Amino acid sequence: MLSEVLEFGMLFAFGFSWPFAIMKTYRAKRVDGKSPVFMAMVIAGYACGIAAHLVEGAKLWLCWVYLADMALVSTDLCLYFRYAKANRRQKTMEDNQ
């Protein structure tokens, strides 16, 4: 039981920061400093966590927390791809001036 509480705490702490990152990206419409590879690795890590719980057959309620965190990171990754092209185009225009 203690391991479940600690794992939930870890997932909550990681998941708590993503809404702020999402809002910052959405408001600024800038993706400077963001790494799509990093975000994809985080999503893969969450998928491994879910798989581990499914294989164990225990603590399945934690899978929902993993899925929520995964959805937040996926949202940030989608915003990255939405704004990255426009950011590159703007940077090119600025460099040409």
User: Is 97 strand, coil or helix?
Assistant: coil
Q: DSSP letter string over 16-64?
A: HHHHHHHHHHHHH---TT--HHHHHHHHHHHHHHHHHHHHHT--THHHH
In a domain, 26, yes or no: no
Q: Is residue 92 part of a domain?
A: yes
Task: Give the domain range for residue 94.
Answer: 35-97
**85 domain-assigned:** yes
Q: Which pLDDT tens digit goes with each residue over 66-86?
A: 999 999 999 999 999 999 988
Residue 23 covered by a domain = no
Determine, yes or no, domain membership for 14.
no
Residue 69 domain flag = yes
Query: How does pLDDT run across 17-49, given as a tens digit for each residue?
Result: 999 999 999 999 999 899 999 999 999 999 999
34 and 25 Cβ atoms separated by less than 8 Å = yes
Structurally, the chain folds into a number of domains equal to: 1
Asked if the structure places residue 27 within a domain, the reply is: no
* Cα→Cα distances 62→69, 75, 76, Å: 11, 20, 22
